[in-house]
Amino acid sequence: MEGKDRSLEELMKEKEDNEFIIEENRLKGVIELITKEILNYVRKRKEVTKYIIDSRKKNIEEFKDDEDRVMEYFDHETFVKEESYKTIDRKFKELTILKTSPYFGRVDFKDEDSDEEKVYIGRFGVTTQGQYEPLVVDWRAPVSSLFYTSSLGPNRYRAPKSEIEVDILKKRQYIIKKEKLMGLFDSAVDVRDEILQLVLSKNAEEKLTDIVMSIQEEQDKIIREPRNNIVVVNGVAGSGKTTIALHRVAFLLYNNREVLQDKVLILGPNPIFMEYISSVLPSLGEGGTMQQTYADFALDLMDIRKNKVMSSEVYMEKILSNDKAFIEDLIYKNSDDFTEELNKLIENIEKKQYKFEDIIYNDKVVVSTEECEKMYNEYYKRLPLFRRTRKIRRIIFSKLKDERDNKVRKIEEEYRNTLKALSEDELTLQGTSIDYERRLKIKNVVREIMKVKETLLWLDNPSIYELYSSINKRDFYTIDDLTALLYLTLKFEGISMGREIKHVIIDEAQDYSSLALKVIREITGTLGMTIVGDSNQRIIPIKVEIPFNSIENIIHNIEVKHFKLNKSYRSTQQIMEYANKFLKDEAIVPLVRNGEPVNVIKISKVEEVTDNILSLVNEYKEKQYESIAIICKDLKSTEKYGRLLKKIENIKIIDREDMMYKGGIVAIPLYFAKGLEFDAVIILDEAEQKEDKYMYVMSTRALHELSVVKLQP
């Protein structure tokens, strides 16, 4: 029996070895073909570059004496060539990336109408010149969704025209590094743990750009949702919300490039976060998206100086220091009651600001009160209020101009008739005085018209900022005030972004008010939105349900799909179990990735803080961790302990939202750490720190190791 068992083991091992050799040989062949394609694209790029340069030289030389012709030399053919160059250059870059690791997965399947198919899946797709069958299929292609499904057997994927029923026979995953096959795994269920562990065990920056090979089924379903739905993801820390959002952008652009290219807006919480994610889309071969913080989005659309707006760090510090008056104000400005107050202000201006009256010129009613009211209440009702009144003013001015022109024509006609009736002698004697009288009459006509125009003050529009000051009662604005001013501007003036937006991504959406979500939708006019956040990470106080969870009550008449993610892929099991202690409701389900126990160090003296943190930092540096964060509750603590920790080489204190984070060792307040992740985290837990949600946010920033230095008197 033992002999038979050994024989079976040997046969299985032999089969595995043969499979490995076959896959190794295929990989070599694929890399050779990609290398040829790269050389092919290098040649194409040279040819197109030469054509463009020669064309420019020829046209500039030919029309050097004609500036207008020089400006027009970009003819259609040259434009096409330049666009062709962009496509060639893009493909060249993709192939260069693929050469070292062409694919990460394979799915074997069979449908009713074909033999068994094997599809190799990579970060980008490759179809060699003269071939129709792809060598590697892009992970965003419809058929690639089969790789991310949870099991073998009957399944389906959504093709451009219909759903295709298939039978999944095998799923295989590869570890390929520097053109070498390091390992392969066959999996009957989800993306194999070995691969997932491999990706998740990487350092923070590398992990963020390699996640495509470990996307899970629940994440993949969200990524592939139709573009014109509103997709809402409420996920725990580490569940891949930002990853889902960015890969969804890449997926949507790949499948809808003509519609969405340069028409995607990504809104993030602060510049630190925006810089942190800036490399992800380019690594997926996508660019051209508009990426902004919500504050910059608002400021770009209004005439407000940035120095009149409270910085995010001051805003958060007031919350963390429990500034009761400030907190009471922001709770109100995040409420439906505040929106109702703004609506009442708009209604009051609409009903009471403008007192319509007859427009009379030369004892004639040029525009009646009734006409004005009809224009205001019926004809131009669809226009924003101030644009409506300016439209009415233009119509009144136009009608006054017609009356003026009629009057002037009569004066000119009388003048000509008078001249005709005069003899030459009378013309010589009276001509000058008659002309003077004509000009005087015309001046009087113009003067009378000006007087009538000056009476139209009742059509003047008030300043939006002055109107809002009756509510705001202070000379600076917070982010909540910017939202209110955007709303008033939208209703009074209308807002144009100057570019078309077809899809909006909102990250850290738990911090957005109902009004902010409504305003973003109305300004962009987009049908498709991807909204991701974590209800547990809202630090800004609120007395109602967190708005993004009930977006259908804010944005109507569009399909909304909600997804709840409870599984964390970020941190080790030990870190997530520690973080779970600070959640009152449902707990995070950690991926079983073991690590070091959470290290809780209790000290009683401030002087001991520095020595303990220095010791921990040195320990983490020895373990080759590339990003280490010392997270404090607020800016005061960050600056205080940051100064004490100056002994740490190259430590950076993040104390402003416009600072860039590029890895290394940082001291950072918790509100700037939101959305970020670090290889190792040291939390400074001071005695007065009571809020569980603060500890939840801070502890879930850690990927591999977490230490908590508790200062207890």
Q: Dihedral of the CA atoms 368, 370, 373, 377 (nearest 10)?
A: -140
Q: How far apart are CA 302 and CA 117, in angstroms?
A: 56
Q: How far apart are CA 418 and CA 420, in angstroms?
A: 5
Q: Are the beta carbons of 569 and 238 closer than 8 angstroms?
A: yes
Q: What confidence tens digit (pLDDT) does each residue in 614-631 have?
A: 899 999 999 999 899 999
- Strand 652-653 and strand 702-711: pairing? unpaired
Q: Which helix (H) or strand (E) holds 583?
A: none
What does the pLDDT read at residue 119? 93
What does the pLDDT read at residue 273? 83
What does the pLDDT read at residue 512? 96
Residues recorded for the chain = 713
DSSP state of 544: S
Residues of the chain with pLDDT under 50: 1-4, 76, 189-197, 200, 207-209
What string of DSSP letters covers 679-701?
EEEEEEEETT---HHHHHHHHTT
Give the distance between the most distant pair of CA atoms in the chain: 143
The C-alpha angle 13, 14, 15, rounded to 5 degrees, equals: 90
DSSP H helical ranges for 586-691:
606-622, 635-644, 670-673
What string of DSSP letters covers 39-87?
HHHHHHHHHHHHHHHHHHHHHHHHTTT-HHHHHT---HHHHHHHHHHHH
Q: Are the beta carbons of 712 and 687 closer than 8 angstroms?
A: yes
Q: Are the beta carbons of 408 and 415 closer than 8 angstroms?
A: no
Q: What are phi and psi of 265, to 5 degrees?
A: -115, 125
Q: How far apart are CA 98 and CA 121, in angstroms?
A: 11
Residue 499 carries which side chain, given as an amino acid letter? R
Q: How far apart are CA 137 and CA 127, in angstroms?
A: 8
Q: 163 in helix, strand or coil?
A: strand
Q: How many CA atoms lie within 13 A of 277 on its CB side?
A: 30
What does the pLDDT read at residue 534? 93
Q: 483 in helix, strand or coil?
A: helix
What does the pLDDT read at residue 656? 85
Q: Which tokens hold the place of 365?
A: 């009613």
Q: Which helix (H) or strand (E) holds 263?
A: none
DSSP H helical ranges for 422-475:
424-454, 464-472
DSSP state of 376: I
Q: How far apart are CA 580 and CA 598, in angstroms?
A: 13
What does the pLDDT read at residue 14? 66
Question: Which residue is it, tokens 């009276």?
Answer: 430
Q: Are the beta carbons of 637 and 667 closer than 8 angstroms?
A: no
Q: How far apart are CA 29 and CA 44, in angstroms?
A: 23
- Residue 687's CB is within 10 A of a number of other CB atoms, namely 10
Question: Which residue is it, tokens 């720190």?
Answer: 689
Q: How far apart are CA 192 and CA 217, in angstroms?
A: 12
Between helices 514-524 and 479-492, what is the axis angle to 10°? 40
pTM of the model: 0.83
Q: How far apart are CA 380 and CA 392, in angstroms?
A: 9
Question: Which residue is it, tokens 């009651």?
Answer: 337
Q: Is the four-CA dihedral 475, 477, 478, 481 of positive or negative sign?
A: positive
Q: 201 in helix, strand or coil?
A: coil
DSSP state of 538: -
Q: 130 in helix, strand or coil?
A: coil
What does the pLDDT read at residue 160? 75
Q: Are the beta carbons of 238 and 570 closer than 8 angstroms?
A: yes
- Residue 435's CB is within 10 A of a number of other CB atoms, namely 13
What does the pLDDT read at residue 190? 46
Question: What CA–CA distances, in Å, run from 624 to 234, 598, 680, 690, 704?
Answer: 33, 18, 10, 33, 12
Cβ neighbours for 103, distance < 8 A, ≥ 6 positions apart:
30, 120, 121, 122, 136, 174, 176
